[in-house]
Amino acid sequence: MKLALGTVQFGLDYGISNQSGQVNSTEVEAILQQAHDAGITLLDSASVYGNSEQVLGQLNISQRFELVTKIPKLAHNTTSIMPHIEQSLRLLKRDQLDAVLFHHADDLISHTKRSVFYQELAALKQQEVVSRIGVSLYQPEQWQLLKNQYQLDLLQVPVNVLDQRFVSSSLLTDYQKHTVKLHCRSAFLQGLLLMPANQRPSYFQPYQDQLARFDRLVKQFHCLPLVMCLALFHVLDTNIKANQNIDDNIIEQVVVGCCSSAQLHEIVRANQIARTININPQPLSELASDIQALINPSLWQLGN
């Protein structure tokens, strides 16, 4: 399991705990240099991340990284994904991409042109313009609808201490059967898990018990919340390696975002510490919640 760098903050003011807004291009360059120095090799982007693709394309250092991007939600009258791919390649100044994902799984599940879209992407893979094909998921049920229809290489899924729906033993075994790898996003739940309890928006008051259990575990291990969030992935990694039926590298990347090179340094350092925490899997698994209003940021009503 490796860290990948998410780039949404390079194009948008993103994240519940983000106090500084969209990252300026000078700081983006410093972050990319910090990432390169730390051994991070992959950038995760998307055409809907504001002007992030353009920002990356303008910085030569971005060419040192492999890159994943995503096709935006497609209109009902869309007949081809090629314009989206061509735009991303142009903005990123790339001839080849590590992976292209459908940002909305429904475009492969229910769109009338879904077979055309998949075949177009499969052709690009055959031409070596794209190395891997994948989809970004929001609900495990979407995987069940996709797995027998398409040959996918990569799934991007939300995983954090509160949202562990996509990393159950049965699903990991199923991913192995279908030879797909995972990129895990939302490791910090858009920064919610990194916020002090007294700074969390009032919207989360009904979920105080779930968040308090996480706070207590952090306190018990005398670590930062950042460390505990990343410790989950090392526990998962250890459990996977103990299972002879699952590829050790099935969780390939954990996508993390930041707003400064200093923040990225903190994340890299926290990940090193997280490797050393001797924590039993049970207290982490007990943090898992299936309350959509808590674990799905698209449902948050932070104005209330």
The structural domains of the chain, with segments of one domain joined by +, span 2-299
Section 81-97 average pLDDT: 95
User: What pLDDT sits at residue 20?
Assistant: 53
The CATH T-level fold of domain 2-299 is TIM Barrel (3.20.20)
Determine the residue type at 107.
Answer: D
User: What pLDDT sits at residue 302?
Assistant: 84
Task: Write the pLDDT tens digit of every residue in 169-228.
Answer: 999 999 999 999 999 999 999 999 999 999 999 999 999 999 999 999 999 999 999 999
User: What pLDDT sits at residue 242?
Assistant: 86
User: What pLDDT sits at residue 16?
Assistant: 46
Task: Write the pLDDT tens digit of every residue in 24-81.
Answer: 888 999 999 999 999 999 999 987 777 888 989 999 999 999 999 999 999 999 999 9
Averaged pLDDT score across all residues of the chain: 92
| Alpha-carbon span 234 to 273, nearest angstrom | 10
Percentage, residues of the chain above pLDDT 90: 82
Determine the residue type at 74.
Answer: L
User: What pLDDT sits at residue 71?
Assistant: 95
pLDDT at 18 over 50: no
**Hey, what are 195's tokens?**
């916020």
pTM above 0.85, yes or no: yes
User: What pLDDT sits at residue 219?
Assistant: 96
pLDDT at 21 over 80: no
pLDDT at 12 over 80: no
Task: Write the pLDDT tens digit of every residue in 228-256.
Answer: 999 999 999 998 988 888 888 999 999 99
| Alpha-carbon span 200 to 186, nearest angstrom | 17
Tell me how long the chain is.
304
pLDDT at 304 over 60: no
Please check whether residue 266 is in contact with residue 188, taking contact to mean a CB–CB distance below 8 angstroms: no
User: What pLDDT sits at residue 15?
Assistant: 47
Position of tokens 């991340």?
A: 49
Contacts of residue 33, Cβ cutoff 8 Å, sequence gap at least 6: 61, 261
